[in-house]
């Protein structure tokens, strides 16, 4: 079974609008961490936001927020006020347990921001 599922291969959003990128995960561990990364065409992985499984509040970092629904095992990324520079691949990832050698990436969502 897939550990991380991103069902949107590609998304379009109008500049200045908000967009939600979906992510669901599968784990039986009680302790885990959820991450979102941005990968522009240059290839580097840029860390955006982190949510720990025991965190009760949804994580927020500037224009990024993570909609964490534990019972549904979903960790959607919300980008508010999209900018042209947000166009990139976005990967959801999970660290299972406390070991970083159990680190799984989703298949990614290509976001295109239209002017």
**Interface contacts to other proteins, rule CB under 8 A:** 33, 35, 37, 42-47, 50, 52, 91, 95, 100-101, 103-108
Contact present, 67 and 20 (Cβ < 8 Å): yes
Question: 3-class SS at 87?
Answer: coil
65/109 with CB nearer other proteins? 109
CB of 16 to other proteins, least distance (A): 28
CB of 3 to other proteins, least distance (A): 11
17/103 with CB nearer other proteins? 103
Closest CA to 89 of 74, 71, 72, 111: 111
30/101 with CB nearer other proteins? 101
10/18 with CB nearer other proteins? 10
CB of 81 to other proteins, least distance (A): 26
- Residues in Cβ contact with 77 at an 8 Å cutoff, skipping those fewer than 6 apart: 20, 21, 23, 36, 48, 49, 64, 65, 66, 67, 90, 92
Structural tokens at position 106: 């989703």
């Amino acid at each position: 079974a897939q550990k991380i599922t991103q069902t949107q291969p590609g998304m379009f959003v109008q500049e200045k609008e908000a967009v939600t990128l979906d992510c669901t995960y599968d784990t039986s561990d009680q302790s885990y961490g959820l991450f979102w990364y941005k990968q522009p065409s240059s290839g580097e992985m840029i860390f955006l936001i982190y949510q720990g499984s025991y965190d009760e509040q949804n994580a927020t970092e500037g224009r990024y927020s993570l909609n964490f629904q534990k019972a549904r095992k979903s960790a959607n990324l919300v980008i508010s006020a999209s900018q042209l520079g947000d166009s990139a691949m976005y990967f959801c990832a999970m660290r299972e347990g406390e070991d970083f050698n159990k680190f799984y990436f989703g298949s990614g969502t290509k976001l295109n921001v239209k002017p």
